Structure 1
Amino acid sequence: MIPENLLLEYGATLENIDVSEVIISEKKRADFYFQIKTGEVKMFNLNENGKEFVQGIFYDGESFGEPPLFADFKYPASASAVKATELFKLSKSKLFELLTNNPEINLKFTKAFAKRLYYKATILKEISVHPPEHRILALIDFLKNRYGSEELFQVELTRQQIADLTGQRVETVIRAIKQLEQDGEIKLIKHKVFR
């Protein structure tokens, strides 16, 4: 999102995060901007029974957890590394300085926020009113539009991650994926989902 050289110019540090290490905690104050160099990070909430709901998964070059920096509220979710991750960490004040001095980056930021809001609104609608198969297809189609091409797209998520992102049990996702394959909506090749 923000060029790495610009992040470093404004004082960002590059940090190594271990698998499952918590990067931000729900209800804590937001003081830093985070951008992934390499790796994978999930933002999630836990309910009172310890069940995890994944808000989003972020990959190389993507940032996460920014809204509280701009609205001055605490983190609404936690974030942890899904796999070993290198990320840039920049203070809130330096981020604002960077955005003020680089309007083209500020515009990219605004566009990225708009895309995330669209995703959240779409997934929320899917989770609340549609059957499991529809929820899964909506998620896959969103990912294909964002990361894929016109050709056959491989879903890089595990069944558990699909369940977490669509608010379902993993058993439900497994049954729904089998049904989607029978209906010709997806292909399963060596246990991987393609669309």
Structure 2
Amino acid sequence: MIQEDILLEFGAKRDVFSKGDQLFREGDTAVNYYQVSSGEVKMNNYNADGKEFIQGIFTAGQSFGEPPLFANVNYPANAEAIIESEVFKLHKPGFLDLLKAKPEMHLKVTETLAKRLYYKAIMASEISSQEPEHRILRVLDYLKKHVHKTEGAFSFKVDLTRQQIADLTGLRVETVIRATKSLQKKGELKIVQRKVFR
């Protein structure tokens, strides 16, 4: 989102995280802007039974964890590397200086946050009231259109495990497996060598 040279100009450091490493934990004080250079990072929470709910998955060029920087609140979720990842970390004062000095970057950050808020509003409604198949299609369509910016039937290869789809939609893995098979029969998805295409 923000060009890497600009991040470095304002004092960002590039850190490497191994699979499973925590970048921050729910309840930690928000002190940094994070942007993925390579790899994948998820933000998640666990309920009292230990079930994971994935708030979002972030890949190269995407940022995460910014709202608490603006609201002066603690992180509402954990951030964890899904695979080995390189992540830019910019301390809050440097991030705010960057936004003041580069209004076009400020606008990009604002647009990104607005899109995430829109997604959260849609998903809150979907998860509370819709059938599993509908929930799955909404998540996949959001990723296809807004994250990967792909168009055309079955042009989007879903690089999520069945478990990750379950954690994004609040479903059980068994339900996701049944629902994706049903969606394939209806022509909504294609499954090729265990990979889902939308």
Q: TM-score over 0.5 for the alignment? A: yes
The residue number in structure 1 matching 2:151 is 150
Q: Distance in 2 between matches of 1:141 and 1:98?
A: 33
Q: Distance in 1 between matches of 2:189 and 2:17?
A: 34
Are positions 1:55 and 2:55 aligned together? yes
Are positions 1:31 and 2:27 aligned together? no
Q: Could you say what secondary structure the match of 1:30 adopts?
A: coil
Shift of 1:110: 0.5
Gaps of 5+ in 1: none
Shift of 1:149: 2.1
Percent identity, aligned pairs only? 54
The alignment's C-alpha RMSD in Å is 0.8
Q: Distance in 2 between matches of 1:7 and 1:79?
A: 20
Gaps of 5+ in 2: none
The residue number in structure 2 matching 1:130 is 130
TM-score, with length taken from structure 1 = 0.98
Q: What is the correspondence of 1:1-195 to structure 2 with a 5 Å cutoff?
A: 1-146=1-146, 147-151=148-152, 152-195=155-198
Deviation by residue 1:81-109 (Cα, 9 ceiling, x = unmatched):
00000011110001000000000000111
Q: Distance in 1 between matches of 2:69 and 2:150?
A: 33
Shift of 1:123: 1.1
Deviation by residue 1:149-181 (Cα, 9 ceiling, x = unmatched):
223211111101100000011000000001111
The one-letter code of the counterpart of 1:150 is E
Q: Could you say what secondary structure the match of 1:8 adopts?
A: helix
TM-score, with length taken from structure 2 = 0.97
Q: Distance in 2 between matches of 1:60 and 1:46?
A: 25
The one-letter code of the counterpart of 1:10 is F
